[in-house]
Structures are given as structure tokens and as C-alpha cells.
Chain A
Amino acid sequence: MSKRETVSQLSEGEKGRESASAFSRSPLFASQELPKSAEGDPVFAEPWQATVFAMTVRLYEQGVFSWSEWAAALSAELFKPGRRADASDYYDCWVAALSRLVTELSIASARELDALTRSWQRAAEATSHGKPIVIENDPLR
């Protein structure tokens, strides 16, 4: 896998800040149907949507997948039957597309992802108020 120039040019200390600015001109902005503000910035209805968007940007920057691989995966999810008419499930599709790529690229199996998802849910339920939710809180882990 080739590291993209924008990433390899950065010193360690600058990574966070620089990736933030790289984010603002990421090609991922051209993703199909991406909800945007009047100024052209992506907008997110819930925090997890921003997280999954940022993760996708990061993976793309690092050359984990190509633009066309991403576009194809997202498109496949967006055109699945049963989408909500108001498109409020856009980021659900995004998560499905990223999950699909993660399994296709053998980063993790679908089973592994499903198990981790349930693990996080149990961890959240088992975490009392005021404590950070960490996966170690899953009683079955």
C-alpha cells in the first residue's frame, strides 16, 4: 500500500493538526449525496457520524483504499432497496460501506465486527454514570 504524500510529509507532532487541515480538502467531500452546509462543509446529525467520516478520511489518506473502491462501496449501500425516503439513513449507509471495505480488505471479518459491536453495547450498559465507557467494561469480555 502506498502512503499518500500528504501523510508522509508530516512530522509526528504535526499529524493531528495537519490531518485536520487535510480534512477540509479531502476528496471524500465528493462522496455521493454527502450532506453539506451552505458553506460546503459536511454536516453531521450525530457525533458518531463525524467519527466515521473522519475515520474514512484518514484511511483514504493512508492509501488503505482508493477513491474508486470507496465510491463503489458507498454507492452499493446507497442504492440498496429499503432506504428511508428522507435520506436520514445516509450515514448508516456510510457505516455499512466502511464495514464492507474493512471486511473485503481482510482488516477484520464481519463476525469480528459484529462481536465487537455487541461487546461495546454491553460495555455501555455496564458502565455507570460518570465513568468513561471502555470496552473492558463488557462483562463477557
Chain B
Amino acid sequence: MSEHHHGHGHDHHDHDNHFTDMEARVKALETVLTEKGLIDPAAIDAIVETYETKVGPRNGARVVAKAWGDPQFAEWLKRDATAAIASLGFTGRQGEHMRAVFNTPDTHNLIVCTLCSCYPWAVLGLPPVWYKAPPYRSRAVIDPRGVLAEFGLELSAEKKIRVWDSTAELRYLVVPERPEGTEGFSEEQLAELVTRDSMIGTGLALSPEAAR
């Protein structure tokens, strides 16, 4: 269960999960239309996935880019991600309690859990469909190296992998390592290299060549 460690005066934290009126209504429509055989939820997911980068502000890329270019900001992000992220004007229902975990040459970070409503989409954008699948969560905890390999991310055996399980009150953002060959890049150019997957930990930031 999640820790209810402090009362920040938020409304919805008596329960782990909450649907807004609109979220619930869309689920209701989906239920009816599925029951009548008019839509197939898998097909809907497939359509939505083609637009995954168009959902939510994906502000995390700018947070990461700023941390790469500004050591003071990176330090702040490490200490108090919630405040550091809010300083860029990014706040939201899903983004308020954040912790940034930094990849290093020795350690790779991976976030699990989007099953409930705790995924910080305001920061990361839409979660990929596979990420919401129950098997992913359990397997990522048991065998993160194997799961990452399936996503095409082969990490050396020496590299430690830390798995972070979001709680209802604390969500994570992975700060990937800054790619080589990006000296002198502007924050905008850097942000282009920060993929959604790299902020979940199932990928790395793009190299400048790959981003072209």
C-alpha cells in the first residue's frame, strides 16, 4: 500500500485511485460500446498509441534537458523534484509529488506501475500500452534485466538496475544520462533527445545521430 505520509491538503488522497467525471464517463462509454460489440478496446489502444506523443504536455523532456545543462537545477531536482519541476511551471493533478532518479554509469533506473491512476502523464506524456499490462509490472520487479532486453535495451552485467514502484503519492521521473556528442546543445536541442521511454527507464536518451 502507499504511504500516506503527509497531508498537503489534496482532495483525492483518501483513496489510491480516483477517476474524474470525464475519465469515468469515457470508461462508461467504452464499456457500453464494447459490450455491444461496436468497439474493441485493443483497437482503441492501438489508435491511441499512434498518438502517444500527442497526449499530455510531456514536460519531463524539458526538465531533463534543463538538468543536463544546469548543474544547479540538477542538484535541486535531486533534492526536491516536486519544487524543481514546479519552478518550470509544470504542475498538474498527476504531477505534484515527484522524485527524480538519476541514471549514472553504474546504475540504471526503471519505473514500474501504470496500472492504476498514478502514472505522471503530465510530466511523461501518455504511458505506452504495454506498460500498463499487469505482467510487465511483476516481471519488471523480478527480472528487470530480462524485461529491458526485450525492449532492446541490453545493459552490461556490471550495471546495477534499480526498480522504482510509484505510489499514489510519489511518482518517479528517470533522468537518463546525457548522450555523448551534445556539448554546446541548447536546452531545446537536448529536449529533442529525451524520449518518453528514457524517462521511464525502458530506453536511453537518443544520440544526436538517432534523433535526426
- A and B interact: yes
Q: Which residues of A contact B (CB under 8 A)?
A: 15-17, 19-21, 23-24, 37, 41-52, 54-55, 57-59, 62, 64, 91-92, 95, 98-99, 102, 107-108, 112-114, 116-121, 124-133, 135
Contact A44 B168 (CB under 8 A): no
Contact partner, B48, options A37, A51, A91, Cβ 8 Å? A51
Binds A, one of B71-79, B113-121, B189-197: B113-121
Once the chains are docked, how many angstroms separate the CA of A129 from the CA of B20?
Answer: 17
Q: Which of B17, B115, B121, B167 has most A Cβ within 10 Å? A: B17
Given A20-B50, A131-B115 in contact, is the A55-B39 Cβ separation under 8 Å? yes
B200 at interface (Cβ–Cβ under 8 A)? no
B19: chain A residues at CB < 8 Å are 120-121, 124, 133
Task: Give chain A nearest CB distance to B210 CB in angstroms.
Answer: 20
Q: Which of B26, B54, B165 contacts A52 (CB 8 A)?
A: B26
- B: residues with CB less than 8 A from A are 1-2, 15-33, 36, 38-40, 42-44, 46-51, 54-57, 113, 115-118, 121, 126, 132, 134, 137, 165, 167-168
Are B25 and A23 touching (Cβ within 8 A)? Answer: no
Point out the residues of chain B lying under 8 angstroms from A43, CB to CB: 54-55
A50 engages B116 (CB within 8 Å): no
Contact between chains at B116 and A116 (CB < 8 Å): no
Alpha-carbon distance A106/B156, docked complex (angstroms): 58
Contacts of A55 in B (CB 8 A): 26, 29-30, 33, 39, 44
What would 8 A/B residue contacts be, using CB atoms closer than 8 Å?
A: A44-B54, A48-B23, A50-B48, A99-B29, A116-B32, A117-B24, A128-B16, A129-B118
Q: Which of A20, A57, A64, A113 has the most CB of B within 10 A?
A: A20
Known: A46-B56, A58-B39, A59-B38. Is A41-B51 also a contact (CB below 8 A)? Answer: yes
| Residues A130 and B33 in contact, CB atoms below 8 Å apart | no
A41 partner residues in chain B, CB cutoff 8 A: 51, 54
Q: B25 and A59: CB pair below 8 A?
A: no
Task: Determine if B36 and A130 form an interchain contact, defined as CB atoms under 8 angstroms apart.
Answer: no
State the majority secondary structure of interface residues on A.
helix
Total number of A-B contacts with CB less than 8 angstroms?
166
How far is the CB of A78 from the nearest CB of chain B, in Å? 16
Q: Across the two chains, which residue of chain B brings its CB closest to A59?
A: B38
In angstroms, Cα B18 to Cα A24, docked, is 32
Do A17 and B46 touch (CB < 8 A)?
A: yes
When distances are taken between beta carbons in the complex, the residues of chain B under 8 Å from A108 are: 32, 36
User: When the two chains form their complex, are residues B116 and A47 in contact, meaning their CB atoms are under 8 A apart?
Assistant: no
CA distance A23 to B20 in the complex (A): 27
Known: A54-B48, A121-B19, A121-B24. A135 touches B31 (CB 8 A): yes
A3 and B89 CA atoms in complex are apart in Å by: 47
Contact of B25 among A42, A46, A95 (CB under 8 A): A95
Whole-angstrom CA separation of A76 from B19 in the bound complex: 26
Q: Check A132–B134 contact: CB distance below 8 A.
A: yes
Given contacts A43-B54, A116-B27, 9 further A-B contacts (CB under 8 A): A44-B55, A102-B29, A114-B28, A116-B32, A120-B24, A121-B19, A124-B15, A124-B18, A131-B116
A51 to B34, CA, bound (A): 13
Question: Contact: B116 with A127, CB < 8 Å?
Answer: yes
